[in-house]
Every structure is written in structure tokens, then in C-alpha cells.
Amino acid sequence: MKQAGRWSAALVAALGAVALLGSWSSPAQAQSVFEPRFTVDGRLGIAVPFGGLGDLEDPGLGAGLGGAYWFSPRFAVRADWSLESLNGNQIPGAQTYRDLNLWHYTAGVEANLAPPVSGNVKFTVNGGLGLTTVDFNGGGPTHSYFTMTGGAKLAFPLNRQVDLFAGGRVNLVFSNSDDTFQSVAGSNLPIALGTSSLWSVPLYGGIQVSFP
């Protein structure tokens, strides 16, 4: 938990710096009329596990949905749901781990670092906190853990309300190495997770719609 506390403090400090940047606007931008708006986005791509998680699983499908409320030209609050469906890695002896699902539920902030001018390409960064549920397919009990996430995306406007984007994020899940799962395909023997942190990097493309 001390490790999680240090990471949380670092993330809060980083988000505070982003907030200060997000609140800045040039005189020309200050003269323009800004209307708060909601955005909804969907994304699809590949999820890549690292570290101890990479020893258990191979890359798999990543998907997610998000929503944000932009209360300034540069700054928004957002909520996210995402799924990483990883493929079980082969163990020496011809056994394989079960496929693994990571269900992420997070909330945080997003900031546009590009000049907030209508029609321009947008470069945004985001960060948040939440929970991740670890679920081996058909593998007995699930566990949920504290999670930190951060990422960036580049959005290309199609019109005033629709953007196409590409990006990625890093998910850090503070797991318990002693938690056990029925993680080996074809076996009901419980196996300890064996790692106190799960790292994954989903890379994705998607579409974002603004309201109004």
C-alpha cells in the first residue's frame, strides 16, 4: 500500500501540473466564446502485457468506452471503462495459462495540449484512478485491485462534432501476489498470482463524438 500511496501522490502532482496548463489560454483564445461540451468515445486495439503479467499472458484484444465533460477549452473530467482480453501463455510442459480478462473502471482528468482552435488536430493527455477486476476465463474466483492509468491520444477532426483518434495508455494494477486463481487451463489447482503489480499497455484507434 505504501507503493500505491507514493504512485498516487506522484499522479496527483502530475495532474495538478496538467490542470494549471489546462487553465492557461492566450488573449486571443480568451476573447472567443467557449461552450462546455460532453464527448463520448469508443476505441479498439491491442493490449500488451508487461512484467509479471507478461509471463502469464500474451497480447490480446483491447476495447473501451469513455466520456468526458469539457468545462474549459483545455480541461475536462472523464470516466472510462475498458477491457483487455489477454491470451494465455504456454508453460513449460505443454500446459497453458487460461485466457485473462482485465476489466478497468477509472475516473480522472484530460487536458488538450494543442491550441484549442476549432478544426485543429488535438493532442490530449489523461490520467486517472480506479479499480481493475482480474478474471481468468473459467478460472474460479475473481479479485479487484486499486489501479492507476495514464495515456495520450492524437485526434483528427472530421467535422465540428466527430474526431478520429489514435493513442495508448499505461495501466498499473496493484495486485496481491498471494491471491490464488485456477489459472492453468485443464486444471483446478489454485496457483498464486505471484506478482504485486500488473502492467499493461493498450494501443488503440477510435472515434469521438461531441455534444452539443
Q: What is the pLDDT of residues 39-66, one digit of tens each?
A: 999 999 999 999 888 888 999 999 999 9
pLDDT at 16: 53
Where do the structural domains in the chain lie, given as residue ranges? 2-24+36-211
Rounded to two decimals, the pTM is 0.81
Strand partners, 165: 155, 206
pLDDT at 25: 46
Contact by Cβ (8 Å): 59, 87 = yes
User: Which numeric CATH code is attached to 2-24+36-211?
Assistant: 2.40.160.20
Q: What is the pLDDT of residues 137-190, one digit of tens each?
A: 876 778 999 999 999 999 999 998 999 999 999 999 999 888 888 888 777 777
